[in-house]
C-alpha cells in the first residue's frame, strides 16, 4: 500500500522532489505524480518531456531494506518489469525491455525509467524510482530520427486506456514484484522479456569505447552479459544499448 500520494499540476521533476523527500525521511512507498515537469530528466542527463493530459510522470520513493540495498541495481529493472506487466494485463500488449530500463513496443520506446538513490553520507536514505509513460497519441514527440523512436501504449491497444487506471496497475505490479526482487523468478521473468536476446549488440558507456557482443541476458547482479568474439562472457553494469548495425 502507498504511504502517501503527492500530486503536482507542475513541478520541476518528480525524481528531484522525491530525492528531497527521501532526504527528509519520507516513508516507504511515497508516491509523487505530476501533470507537467519543467525539468524532467532521463538517464545520462537527458531531458524527458512530459506531455500533459496524455502521459504519466511519477516517482515512487522507497526505503530499501538492507537485503534490498545490496541489490540496488535491480530497482531500475523492477520499474521496467512493472510497466511491461501492466501493459500485458491492461492492454494485452507484448512489450520487451531494453536493458536496463526502457520499455519497447515494436522497437519503439513507450516508457523510460530513472532510478536514483538518496544518500546521507554513506547511508542510503531512499531510492526514487521515476517512471515516464507515453499513454495517448498526444504524448508522442515528433520523430527526431532517434534510433528507438517514441510510441504510446494506446497505439498498440484496441481498448481505450485510462491513464490513472494504468498508473494503478503499474503500482500494483511494482509493489508485488518488489517482494520477489532478489529471487530467481524475478530475474527469469526479466530475461524472458528482454529485447535483443541472442543478437549482436553494442553498448556504450561514457568515457569508454563501445563494446560489442551477443546478448546473453542479465545476471543476478543486474549486469548485462555479452559474449565476446573470443567466446568469453563479460558483465557490464551500465551503458546505452543498441542493436549493432549490420
* Set of cell numbers at residue 57: 510522470
Selected from 46, 192, 198, 235, the binder of ligand BTN by CB under 6 A is 46
Q: Verify binding: residue 134, ligand BTN, rule CB under 6 A.
A: no
Q: Verify binding: residue 38, ligand BTN, rule CB under 6 A.
A: no
Contacts (CB under 6 A) with ligand BTN, residues 181-200: none
| 3-state SS, residue 155 | helix
* Piece in contact with ligand BTN (CB under 6 A), picked from 42-50, 153-161, 212-220, 238-246: 42-50
SS (H, E, C) 170-200: HHHHHHHHHCCCCCHHHHHHHHHCECCCCCE
Contacts (CB under 6 A) with ligand BTN, residues 69-128: 102, 112-114
Q: Which residue is nearest to ligand BTN (CB)?
A: 112
Selected from 30, 37, 110, 151, the binder of ligand BTN by CB under 6 A is 37
Selected from 6, 13, 31, 193, the binder of ligand BTN by CB under 6 A is 13
* Set of cell numbers at residue 186: 524475478
* Piece in contact with ligand BTN (CB under 6 A), picked from 37-45, 152-160, 166-174, 193-201: 37-45
* Residues 95, 167 contacting (CB under 8 angstroms): no
Distance CA 34, CA 8 (A): 5
Distance CA 40, CA 218 (A): 28
| CB nearer ligand BTN, residue 16 or residue 226 | 16
Q: For the stretch 185-222, what's the b/e string if a residue is b when 16 or more beta carbons lie within 10 angstroms of its beta carbon?
A: ebbebbbebbbbbeeebbbeeeeeeebebbbbbbeeeb
The contact set with ligand BTN (CB under 6 A) reads 13-15, 37, 40-43, 46, 48, 57-59, 102, 112-114, 130-132
Amino acid at each position: 500500500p502507498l504511504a502517501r500520494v503527492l500530486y503536482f499540476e507542475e513541478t520541476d521533476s518528480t525524481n528531484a522532489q522525491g530525492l528531497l523527500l527521501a532526504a527528509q525521511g519520507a516513508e516507504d512507498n511515497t508516491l509523487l505524480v505530476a501533470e507537467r515537469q519543467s525539468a524532467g530528466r532521463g538517464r545520462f542527463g537527458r531531458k524527458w518531456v512530459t506531455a500533459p493530459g496524455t502521459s504519466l510522470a511519477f516517482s515512487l520513493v522507497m526505503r530499501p531494506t538492507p537485503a534490498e540495498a545490496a541489490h540496488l541495481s535491480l530497482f531500475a529493472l523492477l520499474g521496467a518489469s512493472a510497466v511491461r506487466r501492466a501493459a500485458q494485463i491492461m492492454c494485452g500488449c507484448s512489450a520487451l525491455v531494453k536493458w536496463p530500463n526502457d520499455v519497447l513496443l515494436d522497437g519503439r520506446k513507450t516508457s523510460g525509467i530513472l532510478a536514483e538513490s538518496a544518500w546521507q553520507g554513506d547511508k542510503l536514505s531512499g531510492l526514487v524510482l521515476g517512471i515516464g509513460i507515453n499513454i495517448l497519441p498526444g504524448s508522442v514527440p515528433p520523430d527526431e530520427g532517434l534510433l528507438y523512436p517514441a510510441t504510446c501504449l494506446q497505439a498498440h491497444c484496441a481498448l481505450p486506456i485510462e491513464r490513472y487506471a494504468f498508473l494503478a496497475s503499474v503500482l500494483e505490479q511494482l509493489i508485488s514484484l518488489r517482494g520477489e526482487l532478489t529471487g530467481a523468478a524475478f530475474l527469469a521473468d526479466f530475461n524472458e522479456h528482454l529485447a535483443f536476446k541472442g543478437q549482436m549488440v553494442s553498448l556504450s558507456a561514457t568515457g569508454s569505447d563501445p563494446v560489442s557482443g551477443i546478448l546473453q541476458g542479465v545476471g543476478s547482479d543486474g549486469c548485462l552479459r555479452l559474449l565476446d568474439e573470443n567466446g568469453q562472457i563479460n558483465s557490464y553494469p551500465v551503458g546505452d544499448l543498441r542493436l549493432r548495425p549490420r
